[in-house]
Amino acid sequence: MSGTLAKKFGYSEKVMDHFKNPRNVGVMEDADVTSKVGSVACGDLIKLYLKFDPDRDQIKDIKFESYGCAANIATSSMMTEMVKGLTIEEARKVTFKDISETLGGLPRIKLHCAVLSRQGLETAFLKYEAKRGHVKVDESFVSKILRGVLDPVQGVDIVSAKILEGTKVEGRKISLDLKAKPDSELAKSVAEDIHDAFEGLDVELDLRFKE
């Protein structure tokens, strides 16, 4: 993207720098936890890999993979730079507005990219805390994790889109009632993204689709 086009779309020089030269990009094979938010079907997807110092709950390393626009890549890159070395408590204070402002601002229609990168970080923290036994895997936990699963049609999370109609947690088993025609492309996309969202957790998913 040329400088003229970048200005036309409202991208700052810092956004373009992180888009063209993203920091912390790649796969981490020995990650303590991963999180995947967004959907290829709706155009924006982020997968995060984090490694922690367990004694301090400090982020020792963080990497990301991104599918999407320049803002998606830039916000993920900047977010990883901002939180690396912080404890979970410290990193939770970093907001999507902080990410956007540190990048010199984003066009209003691209602010959702900063929101998505921040959601990916929170999802990773929740999964790490669940694996450590610090939080309980209950209906509230499940709802928070599903905030990172998007309805590819509306581009919002499946909780807000009212695709999720019911949640029940019994031990390791998580049962979800979902509003979508069984065997439809929507159901297949949502099912795949839900399984990815809970990757690495010792849970059993029971997805029940109905029109």
Nearest Cα to 127, choosing from 32, 60, 26? 32
Q: Which residue has the tokens 């402002």?
A: 101
Phi first, then psi: give them for residue 195, nearest 5 degrees.
-60, -40
Q: CA-CA distance, 120 to 73, in Å (whole number)?
A: 13
Paired residues of 207 in beta bridges: 176
Q: Which residues are catalytic?
A: 42, 113
